Amino acid sequence: MKLTLKIWRQKNAKAEGKIVEYPLDGIDEDMSFLEMLDVLNEGLINSGDLPVSFDHDCREGICGSCSLYINGEAHGPDRKVPTCQLHMRMFKDGDTIFIEPFRAKAFPVIKDLVVDRSSFDRIQQAGGFVSINTSGNPTDANAILVPKHDADKAFDAATCIGCGACVASCKNSSAMLFVAAKVSQYALLPQGKVEATDRVLNMVAQMDAEGFGNCTNTGACEVECPKGISLEYIAQMNREYLSASLKG
Amino acid sequence: MAKSALLKSSIAKKVAMALSGLFLILFLAQHFFINSTSVFSADVFNSISHFMGNNPLVQFVIQPILILGVIFHFIMGIVLEYQNNKARPINYVKNNGAANSSWASRNMIITGLVVLAFMGLHFYDFWVPEMVYKYVEVNPLDETRYFAELTHKFESPVRTAIYSVSFVLLSLHLWHGFNSSFQSVGFNNKYSRSLHTLGYAFAIVVPVGFIFIALFHHFNH
Amino acid sequence: MALDSKIPNGPISDKWTNYKDHINLVNPANKRNIDIIVVGTGLAGSSAAATLAELGYNVKTFCFQDSPRRAHSIAAQGGINAAKNYQGDGDSTFRLFYDTVKGGDYRSREANVHRLAEVSVNIIDQCVMQGVPLAREYGGLLDNRSFGGTLVARTFYAKGQTGQQLLLGAYSAMNRQIGRGKIKSFTRHEMQDLVVVDGKARGIIARDLVSGEIERHSAHAVVIASGGYGNVFFLSTYAMGSNATAAWKIHKKGAFFANPCYTQIHPTCIPVSGDHQSKLTLMSESLRNDGRIWVPAKLEDAKGIREGKLKPTQIAEADRDYYLERRYPAFGNLVPRDIASRAAKERCDAGFGVNKTGEAVYLDFAAAIERYGKEQAYVKGLDANDTKLVTKLGAATVTNKYGNLFQMYEKIVDEDPYTTPMMIYPAVHYTMGGTWVDYNLQTTIPGCFSIGESNFSDHGANRLGASALMQGLADGYFVLPYTIGDYLAPEIKTGTISTDLPEFVEAENNVKARIDRLINNKGTHSVDYFHKKLGKIMWNKVGMARNAQGLNEAIEEIAALREEFYNDVNVPGDAFSLNQELDKAGRVADFLELGELFAKDALHRNESCGGHFREEYQSEDGEAQRDDENFAYVAAWEYKGKPSDAILHKEPLVYDNVKLVTRSYK
């Protein structure tokens, strides 16, 4: 396969960036998208250029490191996969591919395609936990029954990999799907319910403070989410928030 | 410590947006109902219009609330749009929004502003003359004037066309807005599918109905 | 130096309890004056950091990822073992202990394994309270599944994402402490060296991977939780960034490295598709519950498939070789990982491989789909002879059990595993070896601890499925927080440790010099070029089957490659900004040393055990032959300037509670 890549290059957080075009040949359709970038980088290094920086780690779709905006979509044209599981067979010989970093005020670019998503960590630090002592002696795991339906729903929310595709895809750069997944996971379980009021208020306050936009229910996040997290969780968080505001 | 700040938080804003939107939807429904009577019977239309125009509850309680609702919905919409634009200072060079969301959902500000401009025209056409008629010139009550005023306005092909186009954009606004409001207030469950169908039906039937009424009067009088 | 494992006296079931009762403690007011550094934020690191902070210590965590949540524990699929006996199938602490020692081919330390089995039950309680959504039954109780190498169902799980859920639980506990100011989290930071003052670990030198700045951090104790070193093979199921740098740096500062040759090669991974391959993807071991593994029985059929002239579904039942069922009728497709892996290699080496590269075998679900389909048809009162219906019903059942894995396979390979058999091949997955630690999880450097996969202690020569998560969390939540107190109790008088001490200055200068050397080398080949070459040597000569000649060659080749690396590596860019090539270069430089020690260890161990298979030491029918008389010890290597000069120390393994026998799965 022969491709034309148009990649966002930016030296550091303060520098201005721009799109740079790279022709690339000899791409196999069995390659993953990131392996295609490996080939590009190997070529750049060998010709004395600087390779393109991009975040990646597990390359099996679970760590949430990869964060590329490919041809106008978070994680590219395939569904229910992050960038690392996108394969070149989704493209055609001769294609032009735009590769940009995830964009949001709360995700500033560090270099090239690498962005800073520590805002997600800070939202979790504001309340994304159950306040129990790790060094304590909790009750037996089977002492509190949890209906299978609730456990499964909590699990579905908890599969979020924190990649930020929801923010990147949202025209408003809203982080609602990410925050809703965490809030809902705990709200659905008896262990998390105890702190549900403070949790949702604190996490939403932190989300707003980080400079994410407002949700306008376009649904783009749900479509682009590599784990298929449902908009239902956003509705659930809205309910949680409303009742918490009235209580709190 | 909980940091509760009702109208400042993003969720509170969207709930407020949703509730004001739902209120305007209700208003739209009754407005549509009254207007549709004009197609069948000038008398019925006149008598309902007379009631709405002279009932003190409608005039001095509901009407101000409605106006406030419109203003609130519109200011909030602008504020949200401004904030949302700020949340992404650098835009994508290539963005494919159509891959994951509807045009209507991504362009509420455009459809909203068109509807707002239309409302300016609409106020100029009906509401302002009505206010002048009743409260400035203090003309005597006339239960039969409403139908004639209505049909008179739709004699102009330009106005009829502007109205029709505006309704198309209103339809798009409702296409996303109706169902979005329910999602915002936290309503998303097994009934949502039926509700969505209702929402889409409303978004088509009401604006198309308004267009029909406009065209009906344009061609019949 | 004699190795003192500090195993407490007394009967094995009382050791840990008695030991905890008599260990030194630090009073709560004094904990505030003690700093602890934790390197790595996987299951072991984040659970340890959260617990230590909870106890009152000041904790600093370091991870190279952009968030602690992305550590590679997140990728563990299958589950976590615990001797809860919720299923009432006869499980007990002793059984879990016994299975783990046996599964490890009798090369692990009894006392540590028993402690692991004891605290396993607490882990489940802890995680459930944290809001980890483990799988449940309809009655609301926790569900269990069974895994290879055991006779009970003791594995707790969260679909195919158990590691993710457990790590997010530990990460949430960490977040709580970060919110309270008790943990300072340094992300996109990499430890570059350990600082030792007066014989004690007193801090680390770290590099901020974004700014390139070299930082000094002092502490009263340093905990290494940086995982395993499987990336020495280049291709593995490890994350791209997984590295041995922290573990190797402490080795060079005096921590012994134990059993480096014990590596787990996991049998069910997606095969390599070409030279571009950057990493391998694991498919959960649970697939072997229902999938049947086979290759064509005739060489010409295998050749036809490789050339694309034949399809697997065209091979008649009689012409298929279900080699695991043939060789191990008792356990069949559910033999332990090391055995399943070697059997696949044996068939492929004999020319029966089924993909382009000749390195793949089939994992076939056709029989399972038919079996489940007939069962469902019967349950629903439908026609069990309607093939189409049966296939549909059976596929639905298989989707319920393995849907996400089938989807992943299809995305990667672009073939539908419901209609054509999956192709699998073994891949490097876990390293049982690691830093030598005593019963307190302390390395041979006082004040330097090693937990989780980065230490060596619990899995012997082969790890059973669903045991890695158990060990990581056991070490972090329940073991280290106690044992570290014993070391820290006298440290309350030390006070804050200055980072201006000459030892810090020297360590920092060494790190800077090393980085300068790499960045200014300006050779002709990229870092990956060397890493791939190292990987090839390791895989071919120190991989699934090893022999003395190959190992000797590997040792020489790796040493030569290391020299070539330092002469010819090209690291573009500078050291004062984000530079992923520089990060890689530092890691590969360490792998180039570790790989040699790895081969040296494999060469010295003249026996086959667990994941270590020496071709010279096998029975007539190709099974591993252990030598308990001469090799029932831990090989702990002391660094002496070069890997080839490393000195061997032996910790004898004494089994008072388990009888050593030959593992048999026939």
Check which CATH number belongs to the domain holding A213 and give it.
Answer: 1.10.1060.10
Measured between beta carbons, the chain B residues lying within 8 angstroms of A234 are: 183, 188
**pLDDT tens digits, one per residue of C337-394:** 888 999 999 999 999 999 989 999 999 999 999 999 999 999 999 999 999 999 999 9
Which chains does B contact via 3+ CB–CB distances below 8 A?
A
A145 lies in the same domain as A99? no
CB contact under 8 A, A63 and C128: no
Query: Could you tell me the two tokens for B174?
Result: 């409702």
For residue B88, what are its two tokens?
């992404």
Contacts with C279 from chain A: Cβ below 8 Å: 59-60
C69/A159 Cβ within 8 A:
no
Q: Letter for the amino acid at C311?
A: K
pLDDT at residue A248 is higher than 70: no
Q: In the predicted model, what is the mean pLDDT of residues C242-262?
A: 98
Q: Return d(Cα C650, Cα A92) in angstroms, integer.
A: 58
The answer to whether A102 and A74 are in contact (CB under 8 A) is: yes
Per the listing, tokens 């780690």 go with A57
**What pLDDT score was predicted for residue B3?**
41
Supply B194's token pair: 């039926």
Residue A96 in this model has a pLDDT that exceeds 80: yes
State which fold the C270-427 domain adopts. Answer: Flavocytochrome C3; Chain A, domain 1 (3.90.700)
B18 touches B195 (CB < 8 A): no
Write down the residue that tokens 């779709």 correspond to: A61
Contact residues, chain B, for A213 at CB < 8 Å? 10, 83-84, 86-88
Over its C-alpha atoms, chain B yields an Rg (Å, rounded) of: 20
d(CA C288, CA C285): 6
Looking at residue A66, which CATH number applies to its domain? 3.10.20.30
> Which pLDDT score, from 0 to 100, does residue C285 have?
82
Is the pLDDT at C182 greater than 60? The verdict is: yes
Average pLDDT over residues B98-117: 97
- CB proximity list for B179: less than 8 A, separation 6 or greater: A217, B195, B196, B199, B200
Smallest CA–CA distance from C179 into chain A, residue: A125
By C-alpha distance, which of C239, C226, C572, C167 is closest to A56?
C239
| C101-110 confidence digits (pLDDT tens) | 998 999 999 9
In Å, how far is B178's CA from the nearest CA of chain A?
11
What pLDDT band is residue C179 in, cutting at 50, 70 and 90? very high
What is the band of A198 on the pLDDT scale with cuts at 50, 70, 90? very high
Residue C1, pLDDT score: 65
Q: To the nearest whole angstrom, how far is the Cα of B4 from the nearest Cα of chain A? A: 6
Query: What confidence score (pLDDT) does residue B6 get?
Result: 52
Q: In chain B, whose CA is at the least distance from the CA of A225?
A: B100
Locate C434 and state its tokens. 């690691």
Q: Does domain C518-652 have CATH number 1.20.58.100?
A: yes
CATH fold match for the domains C22-262+429-493 and C518-652: no
Instruction: List, in order, residues 6 or more apart from B68 with CB less than 8 Å away.
Output: none
Question: Could you tell me if A75 lies within 8 Å of chain C, comparing CB atoms?
Answer: no
Homologous superfamily of C22-262+429-493 in CATH? FAD/NAD(P)-binding domain (3.50.50.60)
- H helices within chain B, ranges in order? 10-40, 42-54, 56-57, 63-86, 103-106, 108-122, 128-131, 145-153, 157-184, 192-220
Determine whether the interchain pair A103/B88 forms a contact, defined as Cβ–Cβ distance below 8 Å: yes
Which residue of chain C comes nearest to A187, CA vs CA?
C131
A residues 180-209 closer than 8 Å to C (CB) = 185-186, 189, 191-192
Higher pLDDT, C78 or A138: C78
pLDDT band at B1 (very low <50, low <70, confident <90, very high): very low
Contact A235/B95, CB-based, under 8 Å?
Answer: no
Residues A85 and A203 both lie in one domain: no
pLDDT band at C284 (very low <50, low <70, confident <90, very high): confident
Residue positions of C annotated with a catalytic role: 337
Residue C147: per-residue pLDDT: 77
Name the minimum distance, in Å, from the CA of B191 to any CA of chain A.
12
**Residue A161 sits in which domain range?**
118-247
Could you report the per-residue pLDDT of C401-447, keeping only the tens digit for each?
788 889 889 999 999 999 999 999 999 999 999 999 999 999 999 99
**Beta carbons of B94 and A98 less than 8 angstroms apart:** yes
Distance from the Cα of B120 to chain A's closest Cα (Å) equals 25
CB contact under 8 A, A248 and B11: no
- Chains A & B: contacts with CB separation below 8 Å: 154
- Reported confidence tier of residue B7, pLDDT bands at 50, 70, 90: low
Rounded Cα distance between C209 and C580, Å, is 8
Residues A129 and A233 in one domain: yes
What is the average per-residue pLDDT within C593-620?
Answer: 96
- Cβ <8 Å between A214 and B80: yes
Partner-chain contact A42 C138, CB within 8 Å: no
Residues A81 and A149 grouped into a single domain = no
Q: Quick one: A125 and A240 in the same domain? A: yes
- Whether the per-residue pLDDT at B2 is higher than 50: the answer is no
Of A85, A111, A137, at which residue does a domain stop?
A111
C144-159 mean pLDDT: 85
Tokens of C4: 């003192």
Residue in B2, B6, B92 closest to A202 by CB: B2
Query: Which member of A120, A134, A142 has the closest CB to residue C141?
Result: A142
Inter-chain touch A192–C172, beta carbons under 8 Å? no
| Subunits in contact with chain C (3 or more CB pairs closer than 8 Å) | A
For residues A106 and A124, state if they share a domain: no
Q: What does the alpha-carbon distance between residue C423 and residue C141 come to, in Å, rounded to a whole number?
A: 36
Q: pLDDT value at position A230?
A: 97
Residue C303 has a pLDDT of 96
Single out the residue of B199, B100, B88, C228 nearest to residue A108, CA to CA. B88
Q: Say if residue A213's pLDDT is above 50.
A: yes
- pLDDT confidence band for A209 (50 / 70 / 90): very high
Q: Which of A111, A161, A185 sits opposite C577 (nearest CB)?
A: A111
Q: What are the chain C neighbours of A135 within 8 Å (beta carbons)?
A: 51, 54-55, 477, 481
Residue that finishes a domain, picked among A111, A129, A144: A111
Task: Indicate if A232 and A124 belong to the same structural domain.
Answer: yes
A147 touches chain C (CB under 8 A): yes
* Contact (CB, 8 A) for C175 and A130: no
Return the number of CB contacts < 8 Å for A and C. 216
The conformation of residue B2, written as its DSSP 8-state character, comes to -
Residue A126 sits in the same domain as residue A223:
yes
For the segment C1-18, the average pLDDT, to the nearest whole number, is 93
Contact A238 B90 (CB under 8 A): no
Q: Do C172 and A131 touch (CB under 8 A)?
A: no
Residues A146 and A79 in one domain: no
A126/chain C closest Cα distance in angstroms: 6
Mean pLDDT of the region C460-472:
94
Q: Which residues of A touch C55 (CB under 8 A)?
A: 135
- Helix, strand, coil distribution of chain C in percent, nearest 5: 45, 15, 40
A150 and A233 co-located in one domain = yes
Residue A220 and residue A130 share a domain: yes
Q: Are the beta carbons of C125 and A32 separated by less than 8 Å?
A: no
**Final residue before a domain boundary, out of A111, A128, A153:** A111
A47 inside 8 A of chain C by CB: no
Better pLDDT: B157 or B4: B157
Mind telling me how many Å the CA of B79 is from chain A's nearest CA? 10
Q: Is A111 on the interface with C (CB under 8 A)?
A: yes
Distance from C276 to chain A by nearest Cα, in Å? 7
- Longest Cα separation, chain B: 67
* Residue C273 reports pLDDT greater than 60: yes
Contacts of C241 in chain A (CB under 8 A): 57
How far off is chain C from A66, nearest CA to CA, in Å?
11
What is the edge-to-edge ordering of all strands in the sheet holding C189-197? C189-197, C200-208, C214-218
Residue ranges and CATH numbers for the domains of chain B are 11-84+102-220 (1.20.1300.10)
- Residues A136-179: tens digit of each pLDDT: 677 899 999 999 999 999 999 999 999 999 999 999 999 999 99
Pair A156, A98 in one domain? no
Please compute the mean of the pLDDT values over residues B113-117 and round it to a whole number.
96
> Which one of C84, C130, C142, C144 would you mutate to disrupt binding with A, by most A Cβ within 10 Å of its Cβ?
C130
Query: Do the Cβ atoms of A218 and B101 come within 8 Å?
Result: yes
To the nearest whole percent, how much of chain B has pLDDT over 90? 93
Is pLDDT of B4 > 70?
no
How would residue A134 be classed by pLDDT, with cut points 50, 70 and 90?
confident
Per-domain boundaries in chain C: 22-262+429-493, 270-427, 518-652
Residues 159-178 of A with CB under 8 A from C: 159, 161-162
Give the chains touching A; criterion: ≥3 Cβ pairs < 8 Å. B, C
Mean pLDDT of C82-95: 96
